[in-house]
């Protein structure tokens, strides 16, 4: 069986009623995903190719390479069906639910990316689907709500609390606790109780597997570093998993042909720094979601991991200009890899992410998701022309892969609004033309 924990992180902190479902899921995961019973993985890969559009390209970013004076390659998950890496996981889980004989799919969503991916996968595989979404998110992410509805999913607004992702997860867990016998809960990131973090990572790991092959093909060697944004961490773990063994230690044990990277492949998980890394204990507010950098150990949504929490243990309201990173927890495996030193946590604030959004749009003709813009913002902080001004030191090396986890069409309104409030370098004049 797969390990339920990653060092001290992970586990299964859920109500007893769900434990048998987790056991059943673990069993199905072992059989279908790990041992490819009934050709599950074959079908999954074929559907990800034909329906999802895999493989996604690894593209050399000419102008970023120039700007940062090193080779920058972009892993283009923005080209996946639905517009983000989320489908890798959603399709995997919905297909698995089908193999398990489940009759209904539920999922939570924050910004709506995981919800739309799940709704698409459920429509594709003809499964009834219900998506829980906080009231605030329903109101501010209308287009995604409509997309889900058009794919035939029910969208259920969650009125509790501040009506965002955290509350949506709680509501989905409650639904699951009631309907667990015929329903599968498609968790949207590498979070939640075992086996979710492992399984979601496996479904997402195609990102890094492809990127690893592609960079060797294109650049003739492994990269010096890989950068990916981290919310719950599915994009991060998906991007990193294939590279985790390429560490300094493990690689220096191998032969030292020119094929290997300088010092192993460094892995940078870039979180949302929001407006500040300080926490407002009084208000229960963390104006960021830099869990790996600033969080403390605790249990949330079924797993022991790093959290943004008060000293009493109440979970903080997190914040980021990018809704998809706006979560107070993070995947337990990522917490572990950071604790071990294999993954370096980093964070980039709202302003730098907005700048990076505009920069990539303008220089490369790719409008990235605001989430992905965080990883690009880190590149600028470390290697940009004004890098000296920031207190960020990182040795990214000469060959860098950045995962563009999604496209930014969904973010246009937010970006316009937020850009107008600030003085953002690289932003175009987005005056609304007179009527």
Partner 1 sequence: MNAGTDSEIERTIRENHPALIAYITAGDPSLEETREYVEALDRGGADLIELGLPFSEPIAEGPTIQAAINRSLEAGTTPGAFFDLVAGLETEAPLLVMTYYNMILQHGPDADPEPFVSRAAEAGLAGIIVPDLPAEESGPLRKACEAHGLDLVFIVAPTTDDERLDSIMERTAGFAYVQARLGTTGARADVSGATHDSLARLDEYPIPKAVGFGVSEGDHAAEIVSAGADGVIVGSALVDLIAESEDPVAALESKARELKAGAERGVPEPEQP
Ligand X SMILES: Cc1ncc(COP(=O)(O)O)c(C=O)c1O
Residues that bind ligand X (CB under 6 A): 84, 86, 111, 113-114, 189, 229-236, 324-325, 369, 371-372, 405-406
Q: Closer CB to partner 1, residue 160 or residue 430?
A: 160
Residues 414, 212: Cα–Cα separation, whole Å: 33
Q: Quick one: how far is CA 262 from the chain centroid?
A: 27
Q: How many other C-beta atoms are found inside a 10 Å radius of the C-beta of residue 356?
A: 27
Residues 228, 239: Cα–Cα separation, whole Å: 7
Tokens of 76: 């283009």
Residues 218, 62: Cα–Cα separation, whole Å: 14
Residues 411, 368: Cα–Cα separation, whole Å: 9
- Which is the catalytic residue, given 86, 98, 166, 410? 86
Per CB under 8 A, 392 contacts partner 1: no
For residues 48 and 206, the answer to whether their CB atoms sit within 8 Å is yes
- Binding to a copy of itself, residues 390-409 (CB under 8 A): 409
Residues 116, 147: Cα–Cα separation, whole Å: 6
Per CB under 8 A, 150 contacts a copy of itself: yes
Per CB under 8 A, 319 contacts partner 1: no
Question: Is 108 annotated in the active site?
Answer: yes
Q: Closer CB to a copy of itself, residue 64 or residue 396?
A: 64
Interhelix angle 196-204/86-99, nearest 10 degrees: 120
Residues 83, 30: Cα–Cα separation, whole Å: 29
Among 19, 128, 149, 422, contact with a copy of itself (rule: CB under 8 A): 149
Among 41, 100, 177, 363, contact with a copy of itself (rule: CB under 8 A): 363
From residue 390, alpha-carbon distances to 358, 377, 384 in Å are 20, 12, 10
Residues 109, 382: Cα–Cα separation, whole Å: 32
Tokens of 96: 């698995």
Among 1, 15, 39, 416, contact with partner 1 (rule: CB under 8 A): 15
Among 37, 50, 181, 420, contact with partner 1 (rule: CB under 8 A): 181
Question: Is 425 annotated in the active site?
Answer: no
Question: Is 254 annotated in the active site?
Answer: no
Among 46, 213, 297, 413, contact with partner 1 (rule: CB under 8 A): 297
Positions that interact with a copy of itself (CB under 8 A)? 49-51, 53, 56-60, 62-63, 76, 78-81, 83, 119-126, 138-139, 142-143, 145-147, 149-152, 155, 157, 358, 361-367, 409, 412, 415-416, 428-430, 432-433, 435
Query: So which residues are the catalytic ones?
Result: 86, 108, 405
Q: Which residues bind partner 1 (CB under 8 A)?
A: 11-21, 160-161, 166, 169-170, 173-174, 177-181, 284, 296-302, 304, 307, 309-315
């Amino acid at each position: 069986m797969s390990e339920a924990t990653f060092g001290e992180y992970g586990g299964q902190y859920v109500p007893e009623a769900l434990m048998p479902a987790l056991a059943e899921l673990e069993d199905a995961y072992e059989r279908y995903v790990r041992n490819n019973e009934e050709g599950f993985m074959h079908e999954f890969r074929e559907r990800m190719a034909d329906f999802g559009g895999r493989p996604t390209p690894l593209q050399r970013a000419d102008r970023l390479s120039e700007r940062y004076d090193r080779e920058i390659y972009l892993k283009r998950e923005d080209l996946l069906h639905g517009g983000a890496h989320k489908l890798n996981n959603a399709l995997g889980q919905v297909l698995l639910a089908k193999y398990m004989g489940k009759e209904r799919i539920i999922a939570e969503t924050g910004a709506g990316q995981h919800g739309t991916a799940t709704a698409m996968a459920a429509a594709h595989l003809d499964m009834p689907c219900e998506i829980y979404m906080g009231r605030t998110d329903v109101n501010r992410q209308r287009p995604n709500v409509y997309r889900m509805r058009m794919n035939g999913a029910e969208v259920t607004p969650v009125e509790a609390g501040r009506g965002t992702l955290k509350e949506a997860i709680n509501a989905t867990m409650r639904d699951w606790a009631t309907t667990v016998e015929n329903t599968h809960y498609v968790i949207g990131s590498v979070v939640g109780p075992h086996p979710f973090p492992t399984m979601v990572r496996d479904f997402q790991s195609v990102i890094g597997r492809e990127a690893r092959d592609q960079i060797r093909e294109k650049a003739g060697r492994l990269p010096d570093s890989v950068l990916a944004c981290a919310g719950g961490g599915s994009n991060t773990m998906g991007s990193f998993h294939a590279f985790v063994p390429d560490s300094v230690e493990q690689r220096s044990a191998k032969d030292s042909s020119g094929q290997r990277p300088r010092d192993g492949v460094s892995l940078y998980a870039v979180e949302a720094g929001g407006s500040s890394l300080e926490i407002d204990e009084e208000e229960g507010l963390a104006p960021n979601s830099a869990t790996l950098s600033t969080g403390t150990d605790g249990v949330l949504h079924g797993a022991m991991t790093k959290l943004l929490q008060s000293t009493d243990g109440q979970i903080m309201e997190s914040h980021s200009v990018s809704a998809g990173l706006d979560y107070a927890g993070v995947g337990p495996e990522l917490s572990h890899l950071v604790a071990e030193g294999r993954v370096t946590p980093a964070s980039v604030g709202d302003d730098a992410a907005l700048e990076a959004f505009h920069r990539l749009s303008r220089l490369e003709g790719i409008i990235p998701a605001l989430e992905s813009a965080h990883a690009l913002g880190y590149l600028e902080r470390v290697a940009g022309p004004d890098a000296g001004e920031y207190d960020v030191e990182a040795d990214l090396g000469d060959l860098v892969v950045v995962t563009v986890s999604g496209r930014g069409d969904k973010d246009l309104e937010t970006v316009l609004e937020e850009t107008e409030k600030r003085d953002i370098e690289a932003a175009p004049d987005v005056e609304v033309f007179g009527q």
